[in-house]
Structure 1
Amino acid sequence: MNASGRLAKESAERALWLMHGGFLAVDRAWRIIFAHPDAERLLAPSRQLLGQVLWDAVPALRSPGMEEACRQAAAEGRPTELDIRSDTGRRLHVRLAPLPDGLTLGITDISSTRRRPAEAKEAVTEGTAVERTMRTVELTRALAGAVTGHDVADVMATHMVPLFGAKGVGVWAHENGRAFLMGSAGHSKESLRRFEGTRIAELPASAQTFIEGTLDFISSAEEFISRYPALADLPAASGAQAWAVLPLIASGRTVGASCVTYDRPHAFSNEERTLFTAMSGMVAQAMERARLYDAEHRRAQEFQRGLLPRHLPALPAVTTAARYQPTGDGTDVGGDWYDVIPLSAEQVALVIGDVMGHGLSEAVTMGRLRTAVRTLADLEQPLDECFFHLNEVVSGLGDDFYATCLCMVYDPASRMCQAITAGHPPPAVLRPDGTSYFPDLPVNSPLGAATPPFDTAEFSLPDGTLLALYTDGLVESGGLDIDEGMGRLARHLHPARPQEAETLDDLCDRLIATLLPGRRSRDDSALLVARTHALAPEDISCRQLDDDPTAAGQARAHVRAQLAAWDLDELIMTTELVASELVGNVVRHARGPITLRLLRGRTLVCEVADASPAMPRIRRAADTDESGRGLQLIAAVTSRWGARYTGSGKCIWTEQPLPTGPLGERVSYESA
């Protein structure tokens, strides 16, 4: 039996011991798992009943039709009543009530044919005992399965209110000296939210007593007002006329309070008071477990948020939106991740990955991989080189770690996209004309199991193309295989209402709601959508230079003419210096052909490409050195600079911020 089952059984037994009457409870194997002393007295005063098979332990139950009635009641789930005679000759009335895991027997002595009125009233009360027993067991089982504080409040509303024939219930949790409403039923939350977040110590004395949950049973509105004058308006606001105020105490500490209300005056019997007290202890234990779960849940959410991007960057090349959906088993951390990484020349890398499994260790591995991807992207290594190093990272974690990953690098100047996958499903692509497809990418094994080299693919993307990168948890949910799920994803990329504009955030929400009904999945899932925006031709200027000392002069002339055409006269002098220095380095230390390119986007980008793979590096020049200061000068006059490999050599690039307008705003040259 698991922990929840043991708790339910122990709680039910504590509650039943506090009730009057002869009760037996048996499991599915007909072994007696609970025996009230009254039942032992009536049936077998000299026998040990617990653990025995019902028919063997109680000879009276072997009477004709008794075993058949028990089995039929358990099989059909329908209460049954019949009379039997005990070994001592007493006539007994037996009520059979089925439970999810067995059967209860309520036993009443009806030997006397002429009972006094008080006894007759007691017999009527006993008639409701079996139903109360069933509701008590159901309540304890539900409390054992409650996970969050809101679950506990829902269980009380669903089970405790009908158990006591009450009108409603309110449940508060105490955290750091403050009261927070976890849930209510039967009356407006507005009448109870007056305590929400308030510091209990700052409330009037009588209000403190109420919200702290000092055990109290109040039979009328007049008695409530006299007991809690600071809350004199509460009876009218809530519509309640009687109250059972219960403290929720676990491990000697008050974890909350509960209030069960009635819609008319109610005199609480001793049995009700005793049962309320027992129930409050069980609710308190459930609240304490829920408090620990809620705290762990918050930490898990904070941890996951810290590993994933808090905000996606606003870039001219793409508009993006993303969602992460944890698995439906209550684990809120996992190994799925996504990222949008700005690169040089307005390029952007779209990354999505999935560490096999879900949990804390997978989330930590995901954090390592995401950091490694960003580091390698900053170095601007070729995609196959990046994945070579990522494979080494995952392999170094051990034989039990595997991850899939998809990376796409989009160049808004050429509208070309380079993609690589390691065991990850391909992206869904929706063209501006409304057709969709999945690119045919080379198959590479998952990271940690791959054998380099990694193969890449390159294809063009029309301006305005929609990309959807996802993990398998999004497309393998709901009993669908991955091919069916991918087909559904591609179909739902189209706007639900073509005549209405849909933002990418709205698209993400719609895809999650459609592909993950109820937002529950057997696996974590991540979704990253992006719409491409190509640079306008008028924002790109490219010039092939001669491979000789005249190249620097040609570069300066091109810079002057182009920046003047772009109304960027403020940047002419600096850009001339940068272009002249970069071209001079190629002439002296590398080889042609030499290409100068200017891009006008978020910043002014100046690039010089050559055919040499040798990368430049900054070094400290001595006082007598005649060279070695060029890159230091470039770093001083630009906001960023770097180098990347190309198919024919390398490219050195620099960025300069665009000038600001008269009111200090940055002038934007992004194309529509």
Structure 2
Amino acid sequence: PRPSPPDGRQAAAALAFPDRLPGGSCALDLNGRIAYVSASAADLLGAPVSRLLGTLPWEELPWLDHPTVEARYRAAIVSRETTAFTAVRPPGRRLRFHLYPDATGISVRITSDATGDPPAAADPEEYRQGAPPVPPPVATGRLGALYHLMHLAATLSEAAGVRDVVRQTAEQMAPALGAQALALLMAEDGRLRLAGESGCPPELAESLYSIPLTADTPPVRVHTTGAPLFLHSGHELHAAFPRSGLPPDMGAWAFLPLVASRRPVGTLVLAYDQPRAFPSGERAVLSSFAGLVAQAMDRARLYDAKQELARRLQAGLLPHRLPRLPGLDIAARYLPAGVGMGVGGDFYDVIRLGPSTAAVAIGDVQGHNVDAAALMGQVRTAVHAMAGAPPADVLARTNRLLVDLDPGLFTSCLYIELDLAEHRMCLATAGHPPPLCRRPDGTTDTLDVPPGLLLGIDAGAHYTSTETDLAPGTVLALFTDGLVESPGTDPDEATGDLAERLSRSASHDMDGLADALVGHARGSAPRHDDVALVLLRTREAAPAAGKGPG
């Protein structure tokens, strides 16, 4: 459980705590800006708290903007390990900085340093030879650009698909580089197509939406030549490309090729509201940004292609429509796992056996990949082919088939046979959660089903069938464990919560009830597994009993 928010006394104690310690404390957020600074830290840094909050330290305090501080800062961001350095605040006060990074930002401890150790700003050998402790100043903003470059690299390394890369690029690059508009164009079917943008006026977005690779425009020129193009003013743009179609009111432009694995994949467009000189250092930073984006987009497109292939395979193996049987209302839902979790092997099936009999199966193949989706299809096909036999026999035969196939994956499965005319059902399970049953009077509980071994482990495994009443008005909920399992949640408590929600629902609309149950699961906690749900409700009108394959 999450800790409760601090009360007033706790908050006051937390604020007073760092001020009692020697030296000063501050915290940098994920954008590198000062989110907190103690009064003692502000005194050491030589600036008031009000001026420091919300700023980038290396811009507000130029004496921190130099290569060695840059190296220590880079090490902290990349390794997320504690590091330290000494810097000299003009005119000569030595300060020791300890950096404590994690995934949410960096905590910094600042103390006066009177040890005589060489400042991190100076090379140790030069210091021993009496060289000045602080190197010549470098261009303001260099460390800030480095921070954004490293932060973007770390973020893009965790991006899964194209949408993630586009969103992270748009959110981070434009503000980091001072651009008013950013557009990401990807080559596809002989055109450069707008994959994502940030801050683009409608006229600019429209002009970049889809550009033929035969057009004489800056994005196409950069894509085909592989050389970046920097235009210092709007006048220079329209003098060089009079038919570019780009709006004339932007002050400067940067067009950067996106090249991955020595192959051009698109163009990155940056637009500025004022003329810009683009010195060599800035051009190098922009090219580095574009290189990161290109590599991330290449990985993301491959990821999306694999995911789409697997999802199509999985969707093709699930039922396209459910059979309609007199006396039985059916609803089914399938919810894929979260982004980056791969494709799972959850499956379900409803099989018409005769005029008043049906079989229902639900299961979960181990793993989240194409192999799991493929095995799911094999299991569903095997269960479908053997439907009509007693539930224990269906599971035993499917189990022997999986052991013979030796896929290296295990499968859970619950199989139920319904007799709507006799108001009876027979069920068996192979390591799968038992179904919930809401009886006509509203009482809801978990059916008691003898456990069985997962399919695909032991060819000689034995399964037991259980028979029970199925009164008209009964609602059965068959589900995979993704519906009740999430980080930090007890599965038994989640199953109890699901049973309570099923019990409280007075809806006779199975589709609405299925949407409500799945929607609650999706909103209550992040899902790291697929979710499959089948709801069944029996009604009075059922024809005479009879069996036959259908």
The bucket for the TM-score relative to the shorter chain is 0.7 to 0.9
2:267 paired with 1:260:
no
Determine the structure 2 residue equivalent to 1:309. Answer: 319
Q: Does the CA contact (< 8 Å) of 2:347 and 2:362 recur in 1?
A: yes
Match of 2:484 in 1: 475
Q: CA deviation at 1:376?
A: 0.6
Residue 172 of structure 1 contacts residue 181 of structure 1 at CA under 8 Å; is this kept in 2?
A: yes
SS of 1:183's partner is strand
Matches within 5 A, 1:427-446: 427-446=435-454
1:134 aligns with 2:174: no
* Aligned positions of 1:11-410 closer than 5 A: 22-23=67-68, 69-71=96-98, 76-77=107-108, 86-93=127-134, 108-109=135-136, 123=137, 126-187=139-200, 191-192=204-205, 196=209, 198=210, 200-201=212-213, 204-206=215-217, 209=220, 212=223, 215-232=228-245, 234=247, 240-328=250-338, 330-377=340-387, 380-398=388-406, 400-410=408-418
Choose 69-78 or 380-389, whichever is displaced more. 69-78
Say whether the 8 Å CA contact 1:246–1:258 is kept in structure 2. yes
Amino acid at match of 1:145: E
SS at match of 2:97: helix
Residue aligning to 1:484: 493
| Equivalent in the alignment of 2:13 | none
1:255: how far off? 0.8
Report how far residue 69 of structure 1 moved.
Answer: 0.4
Cα deviations across residues 438-463 of structure 1 (Å, max 9, x unaligned)?
A: 22223333334565553222233333
Which runs of structure 2 are paired with 1:579-658 in the superposition (5 Å)? none
Distance 2:443 2:339 in 1: 36
Stretch of structure 1 that moved more, 390-399 or 360-369: 390-399
Output the amino acid matched with 1:316: P
Contact 1:317 1:348 in 2 (8 A): no
Tell me the alpha carbon deviations over residues 279-306 of structure 1, each in whole angstroms, 9 at most, x when there is no partner. Answer: 2222212211112111112112112212
Q: Helix, strand or coil: the match of 2:288?
A: helix
* 1:411-422 map, 5 Å: 411-422=419-430
Q: Check conservation: 2:345, 2:365, Cα contact below 8 A.
A: yes
CA 1:353–1:195: 2 relative to 1, 3 Å: same
Q: 1:220 to 1:321 in 2, by over 3 A?
A: farther
Residue 217 of structure 2 aligns to a residue whose secondary structure is helix
1:127/1:92 CA distance change after superposition, 3 Å: farther
- Unpaired runs of at least 5, structure 1: 1-19, 35-52, 94-107, 110-122, 541-596, 598-606, 608-643, 645-652, 656-672
SS for the counterpart of 2:434 is coil
Q: What's the offset of the Cα at 1:401?
A: 4.0
Q: Given that residues 390 and 465 in structure 2 are in contact (C-alpha distance below 8 angstroms), is that contact kept between their aligned partners in structure 1? A: no
Post-superposition Cα deviations, 1:294-346, rounded to whole Å, max 9, x if no partner, equal 11121121122122223333443433332333444724322221111111123
Contact 1:172/1:180 (8 A) holds in 2: yes
Alpha carbons of 1:184 and 1:315: their partners in 2 closer, same or farther (altered >3 Å)? farther
Shift of residue 424, structure 1, vs aligned partner: 1.4
Q: Residues 442-496 of structure 1, C-alpha deviation per residue, up to 9 Å, x if partnerless?
A: 3333334565553222233333433211111221213223211211211233577
Q: Secondary structure at the match of 1:390?
A: helix
Tell me the secondary structure at the aligned position of residue 138 of structure 1.
Answer: helix
Rg comparison, structure with higher value: 1
Describe the shift of the 1:21–1:481 C-alpha distance in structure 2 as closer, same or farther (beyond 3 A): closer
Tell me, yes or no, if structure 1 residue 507 matches structure 2 residue 534: no
Separation of aligned partners in 1, 2:111 and 2:535: 60
Instruction: Please tell me whether the aligned partners of residues 84 and 98 of structure 2 are also in contact (alpha carbons under 8 angstroms).
Output: no
Q: Distance in 2 between matches of 1:372 and 1:144?
A: 41
Report the Cα distance in structure 1 between the residues aligned to 2:203 and 2:315, rounded to whole angstroms.
32
SS in 1 for 2:139: helix
1:423 aligns with 2:431: yes
Q: Is the 8 A contact 1:200 1:211 kept in 2?
A: no
Task: Deviation per CA, 1:629-651: give whole Å up to 9, x if none.
Answer: xxxxxxxxxxxxxxx6xxxxxxx
TM-score by length of 2: 0.72
Q: What whole-Å deviation, never above 9, does each CA across 1:98-132 have from its counterpart, x for those lacking one?
A: xxxxxxxxxx33xxxxxxxxxxxxx5x63422222
- Number of equivalenced pairs: 463
Distance 1:30 1:291, change over 3 A: closer
- Compared CA separation, residues 218 and 149, structure 1 to 2 (3 A): same
Distance between the aligned counterparts of 2:475 and 2:203, measured in 1?
Answer: 45
Structure 2 unaligned segments of length 5 or more: list them: 1-64, 114-118
Q: 1:230 to 1:395 in 2, by over 3 A?
A: same
* Paired residue secondary structure (2:368): coil
> Is the CA contact 1:477–1:515 (under 8 Å) kept in the aligned structure 2?
no
SS of the aligned residue for 1:338 comes to strand
Taking only the aligned residue pairs, the percentage that are identical comes to: 33
One-letter amino acid of the counterpart of residue 177, structure 1: G
Match of 1:457 in 2: 466
CA distance, structure 2, for counterparts of residue 275 and residue 213 of structure 1: 22
Please provide the CA RMSD for this pair.
4.0
Secondary structure of 2:344 counterpart: coil
Question: What is the CA distance between 1:145 and its match in structure 2?
Answer: 2.8
Q: Give the distance between the partners of 1:270 and 1:30, measured in 2 at CA.
A: 25
Higher RCO (C-alpha 8 Å, min separation 6): 2
